[in-house]
Amino acid sequence: MQDSSQIIRVIIVSFLITLFLGPVVIPVLRRLKVGQSIREEGPKSHYTKSGTPTMGGVLIILGIIISITTGRFYSKEIGAVIFFILGFGIIGFLDDYIKVVLKRNLGLKAYQKIIGQLIFALLLAFYGSVYSVHGTKLVIPFMVNTYIDLGAFYIPFTTFVIIGIVNAVNLTDGLDGLNTGVTLIVMAAFSLIANDLTSQSGVYEGIAIVSAAVAGSCLGFLKHNAHPAKVFMGDTGSLALGGAVSSVAVITNLILVIPLIGGLYFAEALSVIIQVLYFKKTGKRVFKMAPLHHHFEMCGWKETKVVGVFWIVTVILAFIGIYSI
């Protein structure tokens, strides 16, 4: 276990940067008129959010990068995580830019998003096969020092999982503070796990620090994104956070732990898959609305209640995930 003072320092710095940059960046986003459009079929309570500035994910990204660079935390794995945060974040930025600046509601075309995500997912999978702690092996939860070696199947399997994680994180961004809080908890859990395993490999030291930077940046952003949100992270933020979660999981070989620690992401994505497949087959819906957080809203839950319950569930799942390693 490394000196926890470094982790505490990067959390504080990333938190403060994101917190204090908010009042500077948010008015700029307002002047640029990069307001969020609201789905007509969504909950009526969301109509008042129309025009709220989006693309606020730039605050999260800046908080992460500045806290890492000013702290002079340099390592191969930290650089890799930053690279994939930026890579997926750029895809989200382009999507947001097309939607809110160029006023093309659909943003990037589906095939453009898939190609962009596939490129970075393949790069991350290849990086993991060579530079992750255990190469092509994956840690099996609840089984001490037990791994499964995927060998030649590692890259296609990992690529598929990365794309799944990134889009699941994106789907979770639908309520004020929901994705921000969930990812804060998930990255804090990864930081704790990595910090506890530093004696096994130096790779874990860098992962503990960069995970802490993401958690701290999310905490600072929560001040601006909690209900009632002054700014939304947009795809700029949600895809960047998806890149953070997936890259940390890949480099630590903890992909199989994601359904535990990131169980909320899994549930959100699964609700959409079930809804679409069931509707195509029967013409009926399983949920009142998907993703899952909107279902509970349509059932009469207040937005703040849904977010609070989902945060609590994520904390419980995070403890289970930590215990499983």
Nearest to 248 by CA among 189, 160, 313, 320: 189
Q: What is the pLDDT of residues 175-217, one digit of tens each?
A: 999 999 999 999 999 999 999 999 899 999 999 999 999 999 9
Where do the domains of the chain lie?
A: 4-256
Amino acid at 72: R
Which pLDDT value is given to residue 49? 67
Give whole-number Cα distances, 250 to 81, 94, 147, 164, in Å: 10, 25, 14, 13
Nearest to 146 by CA among 238, 253, 64, 49: 253
Q: What is the pLDDT of residues 241-294, one digit of tens each?
A: 999 999 999 999 999 999 999 999 999 999 999 999 999 999 999 999 999 999
Which pLDDT value is given to residue 1? 62
Q: How far is CA 214 from the centre of its chain?
A: 9
Encoding tokens for residue 78?
């930290």
Q: Tally Cβ neighbours within 10 Å of residue 223.
A: 16
Report whether the peptide linkage leading into residue 291 is cis, meaning its omega lies within 30 degrees of zero: yes
Which pLDDT value is given to residue 104? 78
Which pLDDT value is given to residue 270? 97
pTM listed for this prediction: 0.94
pLDDT tens across the length of the chain (325 residues): 666 889 999 999 999 999 999 999 999 998 887 766 655 555 655 556 677 999 999 999 999 999 999 988 889 999 999 999 999 999 999 999 998 888 777 789 999 999 999 999 999 999 999 999 999 999 999 998 899 999 999 999 999 999 999 999 999 999 999 999 999 999 999 999 999 999 899 999 999 999 999 999 999 999 999 999 999 999 999 999 999 999 999 999 999 999 999 999 999 999 999 999 999 999 999 999 999 999 999 999 999 999 999 999 999 999 999 999 8
Q: What is the 3-state secondary structure (H, E, C) of the chain?
A: CCCHHHHHHHHHHHHHHHHHHHHHHHHHHHHCCCECCCCCCCCHHHHHHCCCECCCHHHHHHHHHHHHHHCCCCCHHHHHHHHHHHHHHHHHHHHHHHHHHCCCCCCCCHHHHHHHHHHHHHHHHHHHHHHCCCCCEEECCCCCCCEEECHHHHHHHHHHHHHHHHHHHHHCCCCCCHHHHHHHHHHHHHHHHHHHCCCCCCHHHHHHHHHHHHHHHHHHHHHHHCCCCCCCCHHHHHHHHHHHHHHHHHHCCCHHHHHHHCHHHHHHHHHHHHHHHHHHHHCCCCCCCCCHHHHHHHCCCCHHHHHHHHHHHHHHHHHHHHHHC
The residue with tokens 């530093």 is 198
Which pLDDT value is given to residue 145? 87
